[in-house]
Chains A and B, each alone.
Chain A
């Protein structure tokens, strides 16, 4: 697969480049939050509570007088940390299961296929809610809850790639000269899984961010005072009429982050999938 051509395809897609830039900006904001925030995230200043956007507080202040812009910036950190954790777990576990299942087939593969068939479409937020409801809110439980079904996506994609490669002649050839199964998996199958998995990771990051924010909005996610966009929306909803800025900005950030990942994911998918390459 000519790498340079794919990269060129990707760059030509303006939306993807915009998405990439947005994510880079957000990542930098998350990493350097301490340096770029105008205020500290925890400083409570009740005298200045619920103030509209001004030159001192670009996004206004919340019900405890905290600067919303600062909390939004730190919220980037929380959101990214959580999502990366979820995706790291689910992708690793999912790809492992998918490759093993696709390679060895048999009863494990049958069970996995059935699981995938049905569980994937089941509203995962309901499961996540119940898990958090049973075990209690908080960061760890949120990650656990969201990861519970998420790995199936990766398993499915990894399995599909594995199935298509294991039939190829060079795999049979490798077996014939005595390569072990794990060598074949590592050297031939895994690299072939990577392109669609990378696309899935980008797109999945978007939906994981949405799920985490949704849990936060319902009060089941990160707990105060941890700044998280969904939780901030939850705090702000009772002030919707009088202090709309509390609801506008955190939600806007969620949308921008998810949008960026979707742009990137779309661009990657178009660049990699040969069927989509349009002859201009």
Chain B
């Protein structure tokens, strides 16, 4: 009873911190993007009057835009306008497409979600079992191969891996399509690319975590009771080894979200990451704002879920994460 209450408190505290992050990141981005009102007006003018970002608008056109959209108001009032809008579900309109930002984003959410989930699945299914095996058969050939492979996995730039995979499987062997959105065959290369680095990180952590656990005194106690190695591993070691891994999975989600930015661009995968890149190139400020907001939200949600799982595995709840 007592520790259910303190868990709740801790989760609440976590929630507050995440809200703080949300506010902080969006504020930071807002300030950066809106500090040059003249520029924004110019960008908007390009799109609205000329439909093309390449041609320069005239000064009258820029003036018109500035007045119409109140772009010369103070930063604070613009920010409060935006926040009010967000709380009502209105994230503004894209300069480029003139569609509501919310619509642009929700259109692309499923694609990112699919890619991210499959990538995470791949990394879990490869990383954790290999890590366990490497630890159980420490210093064997299998361990050596896995550990070396893992170092390569964390060193390889994911955009280069993507290019090499495309070169091998799509161009040379012609097994998979090069780019585009679709079913399994379109999904597999981007998912493998994204999942590789995470799999490598998880494999290394699983291995060192299990090795650390196996060194503990309570494992010797279990052996002293007459338990066989298999039972010691499954009943006594795994749960303990999982504790730092769960923390890491939360961190890896963050990296994965960052990775989608590049991978979606390479594979022409219509997700939020690609939207962010495109909107940065196009100086489409409302969309950039909206993307950052959403990505922060997703990151927050994922971490929240991971944090909730944490007390289920470690009855000491304190755990190193909250130390």
Contacts and interface: CB of A to CB of B under 8 A. Distances in A.
A233 to B, nearest CB: 6
Given A134-B32, A251-B164, A214 B262 contact: yes
Interface in A211-264: 213-214, 217-220, 230, 233, 237, 240-241, 244, 247-248, 251-252, 254-255, 258-259, 262-263
Interface of B: 17-18, 20-21, 25, 29, 32-33, 35, 151-152, 154-160, 163-164, 166-167, 171, 250-251, 254-255, 257-259, 261-262, 265-266, 276-277, 280-281, 283, 288, 292, 295-296, 299, 303
B245 to A, nearest CB: 15
A125 B261 contact: yes
Given A126-B257, A259-B151, A263-B151, A254 B160 contact: yes
B157 A247 contact: no
Interface stretch (A30-38, A116-124, A150-158): A116-124
Contacts of B18: 118
A240 B157 contact: no
A217 B262 contact: yes
Contacts of B164: 247-248, 251
Interface of A is mostly: helix
B25 A262 contact: no
A126 B160 contact: no
Contact of A129 (B157, B250, B277, B296): B277
A124 B250 contact: no
Range for the number of chain A residues in contact with chain B: 35 or more
22 contacts: A114-B20, A118-B18, A118-B21, A121-B254, A122-B254, A122-B299, A123-B254, A123-B255, A126-B257, A126-B295, A129-B261, A130-B292, A131-B32, A134-B35, A210-B157, A217-B157, A247-B160, A247-B167, A248-B167, A251-B160, A251-B164, A255-B155
A233 B160 contact: yes
A117 B163 contact: no
B288 A214 contact: no
